Amino acid sequence: MNNQEREPLFSAKNLKLLTDPLGNNNPITVQVLGICSALAVTVKLKPALVMALSVTIVVAVSNFVIAALRQYIPDRIRIIVQLVVIATLVILVDQILKAYAFDVSKQLSVFVGLIITNCIIMGRLEAFAMANKPWPSFLDGLGNGAGYGIILIIVAFVRELLGSGSIYGYPVIEKLGAYSAGYENNGMMILPPMALIVVGLIIWFQRARNKSLIENK
């Protein structure tokens, strides 16, 4: 260990862990994980933002904890240990939201608890944290959480703007005076299927720009 050269904290390799999931290895649009919560919490920007933050914290911290313990976790009970770590963090996040962000916690309701079942988190623990050091795992978690979050925020932005005519609760369309000109909000945007369609459009756009993402037939 000692004669091995220490890798700088933000080496090119580590930075790639952080930036890859934002684009070409995005958990939602490329790996198609965590879709269910992406549909549920993207009607408005605020819950989407809180959800994105919560998931990022949970995936980053649980990646870190599991990576730090990876030498000591018995292989036979590793999934249980991973679940315990995730569940603990999710309960903490839920309790903190209940204490300090009550309204958002009410809007997110069961979906905070359901972070436990978000495939991104278990996926990153199994695929990355069990085989890597804590710091790269932490970055990997941050990157994946942010990759998930950025899609959530884009979808929520589109859905809130077209569905409710506001951005982060601010009534833009009303201020622009579009209602008096005969504009109406699209109620469809509030319904879950539109989230799928918006995610689909993002996937389409991303693959049109980067042909290497298209699966070979």
Nearer Cβ to other proteins (26/42)? 42
Asked if 79 touches other proteins (CB under 8 A), the answer is no
Among 10, 102, 204, 205, binds other proteins (CB under 8 A): 102
Distance CA 154, CA 119 (A): 20
191 binds other proteins (CB under 8 A): yes
Return the DSSP state at 170: B
Assess 48 for contact with other proteins (CB under 8 A): no
* Residue placing its CB nearer to other proteins in the complex, 17 or 93: 93
Give the pair of three-digit tokens for residue 70.
């990876």
Contact assessment for residue 112 and residue 97, using Cβ atoms and an 8 Å cutoff: yes
127 binds other proteins (CB under 8 A): no
Q: Which is nearer to other proteins, 30 or 65 (CB)?
A: 65
Distance CA 98, CA 96 (A): 5
Give the position of tokens 């109406």.
184
Q: How many residues bind other proteins (CB under 8 A)?
A: 25
Q: Any contact of residue 176 with other proteins (CB under 8 A)?
A: no
CA–CA gap between residue 28 and residue 51 (Å, rounded): 14
User: How many beta carbons lie within 10 A of that of residue 111, not counting itself?
Assistant: 16
In the complex, the residues that contact other proteins under the rule CB under 8 A are 40, 71-77, 80-81, 84, 88, 91-92, 95-96, 98-100, 102-103, 109-110, 191-192
